[in-house]
Amino acid sequence: MASILKTVLRRGWVKPLGIMARWLPGYLRVDFISAGLQSGILQYLNQGSATSKQVAQHFGYDMPMIEGLESWLGVGVQIGELRLARGRYSLRGRRVKTLLKPENDPIAAFFEEFTNLNHRLVMETPERLKRGEWFTLADADPDTVARTSRAGEPWLASAIGEVVPAEGAFRLVEVGCGSGAHIKTAAEINPRLTAQGIELQESAAAQARTNMAEWGLSDRVEIEVRDVLDREGDGTADLVTLHQNIYYFPVEEQSAVLRHLGTYLAPGGKLLVTTVVRDSGSGSVALDLWGAMTEGASRLPTPKELEDRLAAAGYADVGTQKLGPDGMYYAATGTWRG
Ligand SMILES: C[S@@+](CC[C@H](N)C(=O)[O-])C[C@H]1O[C@@H](n2cnc3c(N)ncnc32)[C@H](O)[C@@H]1O
């Protein structure tokens, strides 16, 4: 014992071992929670305790591999997310239970996005820079992105509240609508609002349609699957919104894209663009890296760049506004001259 300690001290390993002990369990925890959520094992254990055999039977796992399952569950026990008592595994503590509440799904989805996308962005970027190889849109699961994007709801709702009147017929076109959550926010403000959501990716659009049905909005909201650039609009909308989407277009094309969105607006109609902005904290760095390394996308804009791009697209009364004290989200608005 004393000789081990002596060797560790002689090698100067006390500090590096401390660094490892402090940081690596967190990494393992994120991996475990992400895999547990994606496999459904954590949801299953949330219904009650189970033996490893019951878990394996429920998910149709190969019985000869049950030791793999037991060892994996052992990771959960070791990091304190699972309890093992009399051969039965159960969720321990409140962390995972909290993530599993339906209203917390946007936050739970970040665990999946972190391990499946952000991890790859950070790990693969240096090697991809060497090979000159971009990530593509297909590297980000549209369904997960639609779920994590909902985490912006509190910030975006404040911007939506400023441009949607509480009454009167009102026509909204939402570009890249994802889950459709922000259309819901607008529809709740104004009961006579009707909307068209345009969404590039089928699985995100499917999520929006399911949500609209669940929220009782199917008769007021139509979801179309297509690229918004495919055709011009009919010039009748009172408001076009582009939430968390501007960085899906290359910088040099953004003003032209915003001008194109104007074709959807009636003269005097408004454009509302919301986005996380560059250098606005740890929440923005992975998204900025995604934009920088994904073919056809772009880095997060600064508020000034956002304003300049709306003005260059021909909008009047252009302004930007910080949404919330953290300064992560900004809204930019402009009026279409027609
Ligand atoms: C980060 S998600 C945000 C989703 C939603 N706006 C929100 O804030 O919750 C961006 C969405 O824009 C969609 N999108 C990107 N480019 C598009 C295009 N050219 N036309 C229509 N949708 C597009 C993507 O498929 C993706 O679902």
Tell me: do 230 and 275 sit in the same domain.
yes
Q: How far is CA 219 from CA 191, 196, 206, 215, 236, in A?
A: 12, 11, 16, 11, 19
| Ligand 1 centroid – CA 99 distance (Å) | 25
Q: What is the pLDDT of residues 160-208, one digit of tens each?
A: 999 999 999 999 999 999 999 999 999 999 999 999 999 999 999 999 9
Tell me: do 212 and 281 sit in the same domain.
yes
CATH code of residue 7: 1.10.10.10
CATH code of residue 305: 3.40.50.150
Tell me: do 159 and 299 sit in the same domain.
yes
State residue 2's pLDDT score: 86
Q: Locate all alpha helices (DSSP H) within 197-250, ordered by sequence.
A: 202-214
- Output the ligand 1 site: residues, CB below 6 A: 142, 145-146, 149-150, 152, 175-179, 181-182, 198-201, 204, 227-229, 243-245, 248
Burial of residue 117 (number of CB atoms within 10 Å: 0-12, 13-18, 19+): buried
Give the residue whose CA is nearest to atom 9 of ligand 1: 149
**Euclidean distance between CA atoms 274 and 259, whole angstroms:** 16
Tell me: do 40 and 82 sit in the same domain.
yes
* Total residues found in the chain within this entry: 338
Q: What is the pLDDT of residues 221-243, one digit of tens each?
A: 999 999 999 999 999 999 999 99
Tell me: do 310 and 229 sit in the same domain.
yes
Give the residue whose CA is nearest to atom 1 of ligand 1: 244
In our burial notation (b when 16+ CB lie closer than 10 A, e otherwise), range 121-146 reads beeeeeeeeeeeeebeeebbbbbbbb
**Euclidean distance between CA atoms 301 and 189, whole angstroms:** 29
Number of domains in the chain: 3
Tell me: do 181 and 282 sit in the same domain.
yes
State residue 338's pLDDT score: 84
**Euclidean distance between CA atoms 72 and 55, whole angstroms:** 12
Q: Which of 90, 117, 142 is the last residue of a domain?
A: 142
Q: How many CB atoms lie within 10 A of CB 325?
A: 6
Q: What is the mean pLDDT of the chain?
A: 97
Q: What is the pLDDT of residues 275-304, one digit of tens each?
A: 999 989 888 999 999 999 999 999 999 999
Domain span at 305: 149-335
State residue 76's pLDDT score: 97
Which distant-in-sequence residues (6+ apart) come within 8 Å of 101 by Cβ?
none
Tell me: do 114 and 70 sit in the same domain.
no
Kindly state the percentage of the chain with pLDDT values over 70: 100
Tell me: do 158 and 236 sit in the same domain.
yes
| Ligand 1 centroid – CA 266 distance (Å) | 23
| Ligand 1 centroid – CA 176 distance (Å) | 3
Give the residue whose CA is nearest to atom 11 of ligand 1: 176
pLDDT level of residue 34 (50, 70, 90 thresholds): very high
Give the residue whose CA is nearest to atom 10 of ligand 1: 245
State residue 93's pLDDT score: 82
Looking at 24-28, 112-116, 312-316, which range is the least confident one? Answer: 24-28
Over 90: is that where the pLDDT of 259 sits?
A: yes
Helix axes 66-78, 52-59, angle to 10 degrees: 120
State residue 1's pLDDT score: 79
Give the residue whose CA is nearest to atom 19 of ligand 1: 227
| Ligand 1 centroid – CA 228 distance (Å) | 10
| Ligand 1 centroid – CA 6 distance (Å) | 58
Tell me: do 161 and 285 sit in the same domain.
yes
| Ligand 1 centroid – CA 68 distance (Å) | 39
